[in-house]
Structure 1
């Protein structure tokens, strides 16, 4: 950049400090520590839940597109986190960042992070919608509702990539350094708020989508509450999406340009939202993992303590039906016995709108023969 050829860009702040403040390049306020803590916490939780989901579904040979999309979203999010570690020093107020830190590969890395997060968000929400498609019988209205969610999710993905490209990628004849120091982002703020509003509406839509389907099932109150509690995690996604929108509005309203600080906050909220979406799509599978591998161990210990009387107590027909009603949602093993498979049609009538649980070969046959 010819106009800065004789200037020490590492001595010039990226933004003008507010009145009464001075730039601090040594030890300024920073979001780096909270960024590491929040990202590390949600990442570890998400990794464990997805690992449990994939393990149990693979063991049962029940992997679906929802599993694959959740895994892809997690991989992309982990990749973004690794890039985030290289840019922690940019999580400051603009007037505490030297101009030279925004040059070189910094803008390219930021653009890569944004694209990774946008893609991971779309994949995670698609995983939730496909999970709904698996869980509930696809009536025409349900199919239209899920398909509409997938279409809107895809449109938001394309808009996000397009707007981010406009905001960051150099125009023809422009270098990356020139683009990094341009004022395009000021004009982009309105679009950022618009996409933030649409994202919030989509999150609310996905959050309430399963409620009417669960309400129509012929379940006990306990079973309904258990299913609703499983998806209540999605409320956190709505909260983080709303928080992200607030920061986008603040970004546009600030009299002194402080894009770097608010961009870090917005990106942090989006990353948390991605992980929450992955967790929501993985909760039924993780619940299955807990019941199969941890619940089974505790149950076995309890039966051993109870003696042979409890061990040899036959299960009643009502118990089998209760297990069948919960087995598709929570996917537990040992519940779809040969007798239950023979009664799938009757069970479907008892539970309208719910698909009968798939047979689990080997485990079920062995369980049934013991009775």
Structure 2
């Protein structure tokens, strides 16, 4: 039995329904891979290069871990019911599994989204308003706490909407209802708040950025960050549009897939925006370490080869010099002799060969 009656002229396909699973796998893998790479480089730069971990780093780690849970759920849904599968191509008995995954994923997104946005705004304060309380400082703080309050309300709304609680994903329960709160409106509100927040995050530092005198290379880096930010805003707009369509459609499984993937793309762009500026510093530190290791290895090999090399030197006999004439024979008997003795030894060796280890380590000893 299908989870939804197919439209006129359509027949349910339970065995191999049309889907966009490849798009789902690509989006999730690309987002997770790029964000993992950027986060690792940021942590390396902040913790091991400049040794200044901050609250932003911990917020990013928490948001990252929560998003991994959401990605795991979405992957599981892709492997079972599939993504972008029409509801009439899903068996009724399989629908609770999809709805449960979508519900838990929505709760996780509502939790990690304000944490990730707070990380970006705190980073803006650190970069553009260090030690001052100007418009950047107050704008970021107002936006942070507004997001916290809004997402807390949305989280509570999702959890109290249906009774019994299991009815959030199991619509087969007799007597259950979601009459307390329209969850479709909640998803639309979430999408709208996301879009507005992303636009404001993009606009807040613009005035401060373009006042800075930067090299062409740094300007290109800023342009790249802006491009990623615009992609994030585009993903947020797509999520809002998908939420509106979902609220007006009965094909829940298809429309909810769009919301989930747009949310993942938006999160990925947010992570790249806040982690991106630390990537060049991390690469510079890694490159410096690699060059140092290569230089040390070359010197070690070269020094070992010079120490083991042998060559013959011309032999110069060493001998004590004969004492000079003392003049004792000219003294008269009974005279007092004041005597001072000197012992002199001289040793001759050839100069070190050019290119030897001694000459390299002590170049000032070479003859000019």
Same structural fold, with TM-score higher than 0.5 when normalized by the shorter chain: yes
Q: 1:140 aligned to 2:134?
A: yes
Aligned equivalents of 2:44 and 2:64: distance in 1? 15
Contact kept, 8 Å, 1:13 with 1:97, in 2: the verdict is: yes
Query: How far did 1:166 drift?
Result: 4.2
Q: Which residue of 1 aligns with 2:105?
A: 113
Q: Which residue of 2 aligns with 1:98?
A: 91
Asked if 1:197 corresponds to 2:192, the answer is yes
> 1:66 Cα shift?
0.9
Q: Is the 8 A contact 1:170 1:178 kept in 2?
A: no
**1:72 alignment partner in structure 2:** 62
Does the Cα contact within 8 Å between 1:73 and 1:123 map onto a contact in 2? yes
> Aligned partners of 1:71, 1:42: CA distance in 2, in Å?
15
* Superposed CA offset, 1:24-75 (max 9, x none): 1111112322211110111111111111111121113111111111111111
Q: Comparing 204-213 with 29-38, which one deviates more in the overlay?
A: 29-38
- The one of 147, 155, 159 equivalent to 1:165 is 159
How far, CA to CA, are the matches of 1:152 and 1:299 in structure 2? 48
> Is it true that 1:246 corresponds to 2:241 in the alignment?
yes
Within the alignment, does 1:23 sit opposite 2:15 as a pair? no
CA distance in 1, matches of 2:163, 2:21: 27
Preserved CA contact (<8 Å) 1:131 1:281: yes
Please give the secondary structure, in 1, of the residue aligned with 2:170: helix
2:149 is aligned with 1:155: yes
Residues 273-329 of structure 1, C-alpha deviations (whole Å, 9 max, x = no match) = 11111111101122211232237868999xxxxxxxxxxxxxxxxxxxxxxxxxxxx
Q: TM-score, normalised by structure 2?
A: 0.70
State the Cα distance separating 1:194 from its structure 2 match: 2.9
1:226-237 aligned at under 5 Å gives the runs 226-237=221-232
**Higher helix content, 1 or 2:** 1
Q: Let me know the Cα RMSD of the aligned residues.
A: 2.9
Change (3 A) 1:184 1:94: farther
Matched residue, 2:36: 47
Gaps of 5+ in 1: 1-11, 302-371
Counterpart for residue 299 of structure 2: none
Question: Alpha-carbon deviation of 1:84?
Answer: 1.9
Query: Partner residue of 1:340?
Result: none
Task: Give the C-alpha shift of residue 130 in structure 1.
Answer: 0.9
Question: In terms of Rg, which structure is larger?
Answer: 2
Partner deviation per Cα, 1:123-180 (whole Å, 9 max, x = no partner): 211111111111122333221111112022213321331333245x543796963477
Correspondence list, 1:337-356, <5 A: none
The alignment partner of 2:15 has SS state of: coil
Structure 2, unpaired ranges of 5+: 295-368
Partner of 1:122: 114
Aligned to 1:288: 281
